[in-house]
Amino acid sequence: MTIRDDDVARSGDEPTRDEHHELRLPWSLSDRRIPRRVVQPLQSFLEQEAASGILLVAATVAALVWANAWSDAYRSFWSTPVAIGIGGAAVMETLRGWVNDGLMAIFFLVVALEIKRELISGELRDRRSAALPAFAAVGGMVVPALLFLAVNPSIPDSKGWGMSMPTDIAFALGILAIGAPRVPTAVKVFLLTLAIADDLGTIVALVVFYHRPVDVTALALAAVLAATFVVLRRVHVRATSVYVLLATALWVALHEAGTAATLAGVIVGFLVPATAFQRPAAVSREARSVADRTVDDPEPPDADAPEWLYLATLSREAVPPLARAERALLPWAAWGVLPIFALANAGVVFRGGELATVIAHPITLGLLLARIAGKPIGILAGAGIGIASGLARRPSQLTWPRLAAAATAAGVPFAVSLFVAQIAYLRPELRHVASGAVLVAAVVTSAIAIFALRVTFRRSTAAG
């Protein structure tokens, strides 16, 4: 998750320091020592493309150290129950659950916003370009699952085939940021779309094949809420609070339905309108007239407040809600949600003997094969079939080597795979092995992906 260079959020929101000297600077931009020595350097660090990747790695390392040095503290901290109860009903999750289901919904919301923007005005505007990651996702789900089943043909080991399908968006993006900091947008968008597509595919697989109990009433309620969102949008209701409320309700409904609550983020992201409420020309005219109507020293001091608040609302309405939401949430998603997610989930405890048992197990072998070989092969094959059939098109920036390198990043399994491991296996010892297998596969595939990305993109940058 990175900010595009052309619209570094901070310079958009706050008065900048050099020009307009009559504007009064807030603390973070002032000449005081702490802002000058700490806050401003921190801000320029965060504005770099690789910042979120670096933070993610730092959080992962911190999680590993924490989990191995103080394993009880790590486990008990992230299993702290946090609940909101009303009468008999309650939404209860561990702290880790709130991070994975709650905070990550914000992350998925931002991802959906980015994909929607690309669909409307960016890389995916051409339908055939948009079809490519869909084809690739299907290939990237089928081939790994088949490979896993080939290694583990009999029940109960075979039940974990679903673990080989999902791509972990968070880690894939983090790895992309570390391995290829100046990656072309086309590659990043391809990976994002692919990852969303196979997340949706995994959710379908969970419901259909794993008979995960789904509360149909709650699901219907979620559908009604999403429909309400659409209707309110159509009749030009603009109050943000209404939509925030609806989104929260949708999250609760999906959470209660037993599906992935993060899906709420994806749905809401795609529903956010991409056109501005006001024509910029109309707002420009109003801006001039407010500037004319107001005075510098009103009496009482708040006399012009309605005028200024009116202008504040209108200037916001000159920006598409999609762009507003993206700018408001992107920094939180990249620098808050992702590192916290890694901190909560990456704390693998390594104990000598255990590791050996896990590595030797056929489940691990199958998963490794599926994620290292199956994912890239499946993605390339799916993309090839799509292009050959004429239904999909490969953007010129997305060369085959780049596509292959991105496909290795899609091989990193994590949160959703861990989740599948929990419901696929009933016997605790198999569950344990499966969780270990996911973690081992995550480490191995991450290393391979970073290497592949480094090689590919160093070469391609040198060539270009």
The phi, psi pair for 46, rounded to 5°, reads: -65, -25
Which of the ranges 161-169, 277-285, 383-391, 443-451 carries the binding residues for another protein, by CB under 8 A? 277-285
283 contacts another protein (rule: CB under 8 A): yes
Contact call for residues 171 and 442 (beta carbons, < 8 A): yes
- Cβ contacts of residue 322 below 8 Å, gap of 6+? 113, 116, 117, 272, 273, 274
Nearer to another protein among residue 216 and residue 239 (C-beta):
239
Number of residues counted as binding another protein (CB under 8 A): 82
Is residue 123 classed as helix, strand or coil in its secondary structure? Answer: coil
Q: Which of 296, 396, 463, 464 binds another protein (CB under 8 A)?
A: 296
Distance from C-alpha of 135 to C-alpha of 278, rounded to nearest angstrom: 38
- Compute the least distance from the CB of residue 325 to another protein, in Å: 11
Residue 30 CA to its chain's centroid (Å) = 33
323 contacts another protein (rule: CB under 8 A): yes
Q: Which of 170, 164, 124, 174 is nearest to 144 (CA)?
A: 164
Distance from C-alpha of 401 to C-alpha of 406, rounded to nearest angstrom: 9
| Contact mark string toward another protein, 324..363, x via CB under 8 A | x--x------------------------------------
Which residue type, as a one-letter code, is found at position 322? L
Q: Which of 38, 73, 90, 150 binds another protein (CB under 8 A)?
A: 90
Q: At what angle do helices 415-424 and 185-209 cross, to 10 degrees?
A: 10
304 contacts another protein (rule: CB under 8 A): yes
Q: Binding to another protein (CB under 8 A): which residues in 232-261?
A: 232, 235-239
For the chain, what percentages of helix, strand and coil (3-state, to nearest 5) are there? 75, 5, 25
Which of the ranges 18-26, 254-262, 342-350, 406-414 carries the binding residues for another protein, by CB under 8 A? 18-26
308 contacts another protein (rule: CB under 8 A): yes
Distance from C-alpha of 107 to C-alpha of 416, rounded to nearest angstrom: 15
Q: Which of 81, 153, 204, 388 binds another protein (CB under 8 A)?
A: 81
| Contact mark string toward another protein, 198..237, x via CB under 8 A | ----------------------------------x--xxx
Q: Which of 207, 277, 336, 393 binds another protein (CB under 8 A)?
A: 277
18 contacts another protein (rule: CB under 8 A): no
* Sign (positive or negative) of CA dihedral 220, 222, 228, 230: negative
Q: Which of 336, 436, 383 is nearest to 52 (CA)?
A: 336
- Compute the least distance from the CB of residue 220 to another protein, in Å: 25
Q: Which of 62, 149, 151, 274 binds another protein (CB under 8 A)?
A: 274
Which of the ranges 101-109, 128-136, 284-292, 355-363 carries the binding residues for another protein, by CB under 8 A? 284-292
Q: Which of 45, 209, 210, 310 binds another protein (CB under 8 A)?
A: 310
Is residue 83 classed as helix, strand or coil in its secondary structure? Answer: strand
Distance from C-alpha of 360 to C-alpha of 437, rounded to nearest angstrom: 10
264 contacts another protein (rule: CB under 8 A): no
Nearer to another protein among residue 80 and residue 389 (C-beta):
80
26 contacts another protein (rule: CB under 8 A): yes
Q: Which of 5, 18, 72, 85 binds another protein (CB under 8 A)?
A: 85
Across 18-35, b (16+ Cβ under 10 Å) vs e yields: eeeeeeeeeeebeeeeeb
Q: Binding to another protein (CB under 8 A): which residues in 102-131?
A: 117, 120-122
313 contacts another protein (rule: CB under 8 A): yes
Q: Which of 144, 159, 150 is nearest to 370 (CA)?
A: 144
- Compute the least distance from the CB of residue 116 to another protein, in Å: 12
Distance from C-alpha of 137 to C-alpha of 120, rounded to nearest angstrom: 21
Which residue type, as a one-letter code, is found at position 445? T
- Compute the least distance from the CB of residue 411 to another protein, in Å: 32
Contact call for residues 194 and 238 (beta carbons, < 8 A): no
298 contacts another protein (rule: CB under 8 A): yes
Which of the ranges 133-141, 301-309, 434-442, 449-457 carries the binding residues for another protein, by CB under 8 A? 301-309
